[in-house]
Amino acid sequence: MLAGVALLIILGGMAVLAIWRTSNDRNEHAELERKSHAVAALQEARAQLYLSGTLLTSAALSEDPLPLVDSYGKAVSEGEASLHQAEAAFVAENDPQALSALQGLDAQLGELRPTIDNLATVALNSDTETARSLAFQYLPQIWPTASQILFDLGELARVEQAKLTDATAEANNQASTSLWMIVTFGVAGFVVALAVLANLIRSVVRPLASLQRSVRAVTWGDTESRAEVSGPQEVASLAADFNEMFGQLDSAAAQMGHRLKMESAVARVSALLAAAEDTDSGLNSALKILAEAVDAEHAYIFMFKDDNTKMDNTHEWNAAGKFAPKERFANLDCATFG
């Protein structure tokens, strides 16, 4: 019983652990995916912003700036989109520190963007010499701030990458721990299952062996032998039915023996009375035979009189051989005996 309860507890623990592990893995996977998206978006934004700066410088110094300015615009658009993706990932992660840092960098870009856009317009609409002159004038003002923004973006991406690495390692450790817990529960469950199986087999085999011994004992003449009523319900019911059957056989045998004994006694009495020369002596001997047949210590014969309202003791037998005076049981009122 206890082994069965232990097995149920172990199986329940395994189920709870599996459900918890599945739910936890799902949450960890979602968190790792958000961190991965944030890192990828930061790296993409840094790459596009660096590319846009390079394209802008090249456009200011080029004799044909139009293709470079178009590419610059696409790089800026993609960089801004990546920054927005990183912000959304930080919001989903509920990471206010990283979100605040990224918004600060975005604000710095917003302050720098009018100057950069103005340089792009000049490079597109001015002659080569004018564009180069303006580039040499504005670039020293733009690049220090732009370089710092790119550096800060790289640092933010590095920090988030470190967080992602730590979170991945932690998730792997938890998965390994959970795996060992499940293996431990499984081994324990297997051991308990073996114990339950062994106990079940023992609970079936032992009562059946007792039943077999009882059958053999009855076969050898021991009618008092009874089977052990234990084990599973089916086996216990079989043993109980066996005991009840042999109990009824014992009862029937006892009744048959009593009947044969009484028939033998009646036959002896009949033969005795038929051959007796003295009626009183024959009746006394008959009382002895009948009393011994029913294991009685006393036997009497009464004669009714006065319209069956009174009776007298006419003959008596007792095992001790001591007889009371007949006057003691003379003229007895029949009503006294119901």
User: 80: domain CATH number?
Assistant: 1.20.120.1730
Average pLDDT over residues 98-111: 82
Q: How many CB atoms lie within 10 A of CB 329?
A: 15
From the list 274, 251, 255, the residue with the least C-alpha distance to 263 is 255
Residues with Cβ within 8 Å of residue 231, at least 6 apart in sequence: 203, 204, 206, 207, 208, 239
The model's pTM is 0.47
- As for how many domains the chain has, the answer is 1
pLDDT at residue 247 in the model: 72
Encoded tokens for 61: 């110094």
Q: Is residue 259 situated within a structural domain?
A: no
pLDDT at residue 231 in the model: 66
The string of pLDDT tens digits covering residues 114-142 is 777 776 676 667 666 766 676 666 667 77
pLDDT class for 287, splitting at 50, 70, 90? Answer: confident
Q: Is residue 17 situated within a structural domain?
A: yes
Range of the domain at 23: 2-194
pLDDT at residue 223 in the model: 66
Q: Is residue 118 situated within a structural domain?
A: yes
Comparison of pLDDT for 29 and 39, the residue scoring more: 39
pLDDT at residue 311 in the model: 86
* Average pLDDT along the chain: 75
Average pLDDT over residues 32-45: 80
Go through 262-274 and write b for each residue having 16 or more CB atoms within 10 A of its CB, e for each that does not: eeebeeebeebee
Beta strands 298-305; 310-318: pairing state:
antiparallel
pLDDT at residue 55 in the model: 77
Comparison of pLDDT for 205 and 311, the residue scoring more: 311
Question: At residue 85, does pLDDT exceed 80?
Answer: yes
pLDDT at residue 10 in the model: 61
pLDDT at residue 138 in the model: 65
Q: Is residue 190 situated within a structural domain?
A: yes
Q: Is residue 228 situated within a structural domain?
A: no
From the list 77, 41, 80, 73, the residue with the least C-alpha distance to 59 is 73
Q: Is residue 19 situated within a structural domain?
A: yes
Average pLDDT over residues 72-77: 80
Comparison of pLDDT for 61 and 54, the residue scoring more: 54
Cα–Cα distance between 174 and 161 in angstroms, integer?
Answer: 20
Q: Is residue 317 situated within a structural domain?
A: no
Strand order in the sheet with 310-318: 298-305, 310-318, 332-333
Is 157 exposed, middle or buried, given 0-12, 13-18 or 19+ CB atoms closer than 10 A? buried
Q: Is residue 251 situated within a structural domain?
A: no
Instruction: Tell me which of 129-138, 187-196, 235-244 is least confident.
Output: 129-138
Comparison of pLDDT for 24 and 295, the residue scoring more: 295
pLDDT at residue 57 in the model: 72
The string of pLDDT tens digits covering residues 266-275 is 888 787 777 7
Average pLDDT over residues 34-49: 81
pLDDT at residue 306 in the model: 74
Question: At residue 111, does pLDDT exceed 70?
Answer: yes
pLDDT class for 325, splitting at 50, 70, 90? Answer: low
Go through 105-121 and write b for each residue having 16 or more CB atoms within 10 A of its CB, e for each that does not: bbeebeeeeeebeebbe
Percent of the chain with pLDDT over 70: 76
Length, in residues, of the chain: 338
pLDDT at residue 322 in the model: 65
Question: At residue 1, does pLDDT exceed 60?
Answer: no
pLDDT at residue 29 in the model: 66
Question: At residue 190, does pLDDT exceed 70?
Answer: yes
Report the Cα 10 to chain-centroid distance in Å: 6
Encoded tokens for 216: 């053999």
